[in-house]
Chain A
């Protein structure tokens, strides 16, 4: 099984072959993403108002999937980095670089929607509850990864350094989650109510899952597009320099 995976990934490690694959996937992936998101948004509009939170509960349908994507995107970067380092795939590096800003934006969306969702309950725009704090640290992990890519001039060097950082960061993410959870229980301020999530029965669960799927497809479509752009950019640069061809 491993051999097959290795063979498949080795096959597509060649950027040219990957571009052909990307071109075939491009339109269907975008179509699917937009379609599922449209369905999800429709389902969300049909959800009854929560008796406690009113219609602001709908923010949850953006906040929760965005938080899922924040983590999913980072796992994606982790696997891309591992593949790139172990199997020497340049496409793995490109995938990580392409996915990072999208993951960062999802993280930001999760933070902002979390703040908007909680404000009526808390009476304030920000609380240091465990989940929001963890997501905030995750944002900085993304920023560091993106900054490293930008700061190192040599592309190959930047790629390898970023891959190492991604792997170190992935080990760190669960540690941060554990620490922040612990920290939050320790300092639990009595006056601030925690995120009141409505009971997840079918009315809420299905739209949430559909939105989650839609966000995932959107992430993949965006990442794929960015990867294609990056490969084209590298080709243009290589042609300009008259050097090795990507």
Chain B
């Protein structure tokens, strides 16, 4: 079977795509996590979301991914449903320990693209790891595998929660390349992070409510 390259050239995304968020508020339990969040993201732009722990970075991303409902405010995407056009990479990697690397990628392809494909793992630095059990990979290798999902199914909006966590040097270089490539073809990125993100074009800071 011919192995497909992970990072095959992707056709440009919708250049007219826009994500607008205004007066967005979110509560978890009885706690007001954030309120009055607003931003406007266009194709080819990347928003970095900074904030302390508990300031609602994860909640914001999950809200945009459709996993959470907002308490107030509006999220609107110019074209199409947000859930089907975004990738959400959360804190937990979504990897199954008992599957092999190639099985993981094939299932991802089947679930997101509807097509069964085998991939060349060179691009994520996992050549010859095809039959390796995911549970036996190192943390950095697992994170790189997780990033592969972004390449397998081309979706315009990336929602990344702390993408630099547990990434080794290879991983950081990888994510930078991926992000630049993605933005170059009109993709959009929202990334929550503690550290500075090189590819970000805008910034948003979520400050935590004063603790009483």
B-binding residues in A (CB < 8 A): 154-156, 234, 237-238, 241-244, 246
Contacts and interface: CB of A to CB of B under 8 A. Distances in A.
Contacts of B28: 154
Given A155-B30, A241-B212, 5 more contacts: A154-B29, A241-B31, A243-B30, A243-B31, A244-B31
B32 interface: yes
A89 to B, nearest CB: 15
Interface string B28-67: 1111100000000000000000000000000000000000
A88 to B, nearest CB: 10
A237 B30 CA distance: 9
B2 interface: no
B132 interface: no
A155 B29 contact: yes
Majority SS of interface residues in chain B?
A: loop
Contacts of A238: 30
A238 B27 CA distance: 13
A155 B30 CA distance: 8
B211 interface: yes
Determine which residue in A155, A156, A237, A244 has the highest number of CB atoms from chain B within 10 A of its CB, and name it. A244
Nearest to B33: A243
A156 B29 contact: yes
Contacts of A243: 27, 29-32
Nearest to B25: A244
Contact of A246 (B30, B31, B212): B30
A113 B209 CA distance: 55
A177 to B, nearest CB: 36
B140 to A, nearest CB: 33
A160 B212 CA distance: 29
Contacts of B212: 241-242
Contacts of B30: 155, 234, 237-238, 241, 243-244, 246
Nearest to A239: B212
A236 to B, nearest CB: 11
Which 7 pairs between the two chains have the least Cβ-Cβ distance?
Answer: A242-B212, A243-B31, A243-B30, A238-B30, A244-B32, A244-B30, A154-B29
Interface in B154-212: 209, 211-212
Contacts of A156: 29
Nearest to A238: B30
Contacts of A242: 209, 211-212
Nearest to B211: A242
Nearest to A155: B29
B25 to A, nearest CB: 10
Contacts of A246: 30
